Amino acid sequence: MTDMNVPDTLLAAREAVATKQISAVELTRATLARIEKNDPTIKAFNSLAVERALQQAALVDDGQRTGPLAGVPIALKDNLCTNWGTTTCSSKMLANFRAPYDAHVVQKLEQAGAVFLGKTNLDEFAMGSSTENSAFGATRNPWDTARVPGGSSGGSAAAVAAGLCCGAIGSDTGGSIRQPAALCGVVGLKPTYGLVSRWGLVAFASSLDQIGPLTWTVSDCAALLNVLVGPDRRDSTCIDQPAPDYLAQLNQPIKGLRLGVAKEFSAAQGIDPRVQAAVNQAIQQYQAMGAELVDISLPHTDYGIAAYYVIAPCEASSNLARYDGVHFGHRTAHAVDDIVELFSRSRAEGFGEEVKRRIMIGTYALSSGYYDAYYNRALKVRRLIKQDFDQAFGRCDAIICPTSPTPAFAIGERTSDPLSMYLADTFTVTCNIAGICGISLPCGFTDGPRPLPIGLQLLGPAFGESTILRAARMYEQATDWHRRRPAGQSQVAREG
């Protein structure tokens, strides 16, 4: 079987292995060969688990490993703990850290028969929107390697887009699954807070973080989500109730689908006209399929970025306090006079500039005399944003908007201007603040010799994953954006 005939979608790969069109070992070897050929340019992976992956695949072929993902090659974001390899969070602070256990979602994927290829690059400790903040170098966008893949799950999104895996796992704190999915032309879903266990995810902002899938198609996304969800007593925020079979419900069209169009999103500053045009065409496509457009208002949207960049750094300041060179993390080799200097030197050497910036912002906002002025006020805004969504979902089934205000921007274009980088999350942060679910899927491409993907976002109410997946599938079935591939890859997706 030639490389061009090896399936790159999850369900197609699962079917090919199950029906013995290709063995799990052959599929794994072919995928690893793609990585060897293409990843030196893309730099999606921080580390590979070649021998382990081949051993896992061999057990599938022998019938000793079964499950809904048996033999499917999967990539893991490098902030998920595994009891094999390193878990670095793309930081010098954890460059040699070996976790003593597997994260809950890793355990679930293992039980489902997935083959783990390795760990993907990210913005250090998931703090960023471009995957340029990694201590191990920037990941590049497979559609144009002079551009960013988005972040912080840029390595996972780029790995899927480059055909280096059949699905990947990311984490989303303010858009870190959906924004890179949009910039890389793949599907990415941020689940409702509490639907997927965070146990074993290295924390950035604990009240905002969620783990979710990145795939080529909505069907693949639903299949992967089926494996990730479920109760976990080790995460007190994870709900203890059975989840529906998202894949089984997926192809049931939503009759009378009500799509909310928020005037605040339509009037947001900084939207690239090409993005707005593609989203408008997607809205027209939904209308042609019988969806009803509902004008809604989310009046506190403009405060989302400000509230997020208080809440998230405050939680990061607390979570990252443990990395001091004594309890966890890099320890300076310099001679020091006291414990304070040891902490200071270790943290200065171990953390990158963006992580330091956010720790300092959070520490300041939590300090005496400023707590009420910043953190407390941001929490009040958070409640207002949640109320806005609650009221909107009383009138509509899902909210439609862009995922990213622009297509992928050039590497280095925004690194000297943190504010412009933060504004890349304009359409995504409020989803995390409110704890609801959201999905990004491709809805168009820019013109030119190197077309860039454009992402469409659907936001749903808490635990409304089935609704947004079904709505996304309706659009996907009516279009062929998900079938396009970067240069050098097969242009026809093979759907299961």
**CA angle, 203 then 81 then 231, to 5°:** 75
Asked, for residue 455, whether it belongs to a domain, the answer is: no
Token pair, residue 316, equals: 């990061």
Residue 29 inside a domain? The answer is yes
Question: Exposure of 248 by Cβ count < 10 A (0-12 exposed, 13-18 middle, 19+ buried)?
Answer: exposed
Q: What share of the chain has pLDDT > 70, as a percent? A: 97
In the prediction, which pLDDT does 496 show?
A: 40
pLDDT, tens digit, for every residue of 126-163? 999 999 999 999 999 999 999 999 999 999 999 999 99
The stretch 473-492 carries a mean pLDDT of: 86
- So which residues are the catalytic ones? 77, 152, 176
Average pLDDT along the chain:
95
Indicate if the pLDDT at residue 317 is higher than 70: yes
Q: In which band, very low, low, confident or very high, does the pLDDT at 319 lie, cut at 50, 70 and 90?
A: very high
Does residue 155 form part of some domain? yes
Backbone φ and ψ of 487, nearest 5°: -55, 135
> How many domains are contained in the chain?
1
Q: Quickly state the pLDDT bin for 190 (edges 50, 70, 90).
A: very high
* Residue 98: Cβ within 10 Å count: 13
Q: What is the mean pLDDT of residues 242-265?
A: 94
Per-residue pLDDT at 37: 97
- Report the C-alpha gap between 240 and 234 in whole angstroms: 11
**Does any domain span residue 19?**
yes
Instruction: Report pLDDT for 4.
Output: 55
* Predicted structure pTM score: 0.96
pLDDT surpassing 90 at residue 491: no
pLDDT at position 242, please?
85
Q: Does residue 72 form part of some domain?
A: yes
CATH number where 475 lies = 3.90.1300.10
* pLDDT for the residue 348: 96
Task: Report whether 455 contacts 141 (CB < 8 A).
Answer: no
Give the mean model confidence (pLDDT) for residues 94-116: 97
- Tell whether the model's pLDDT for residue 490 goes beyond 70: no
Please write the tens of the pLDDT for every residue from 224-243. 999 999 999 999 999 998 88
Regarding beta strands 73-77 and 292-296, do their DSSP bridges make them parallel or antiparallel, or are they unpaired?
unpaired
Flag whether 28 is in a domain: yes
Q: Is residue 112 part of a domain?
A: yes
Flag whether 9 is in a domain: yes
Q: Do residues 60 and 68 make contact, with C-beta atoms less than 8 angstroms apart?
A: no
Domain that holds residue 122: 3-256+467-483
pLDDT reading at 492 higher than 90: no
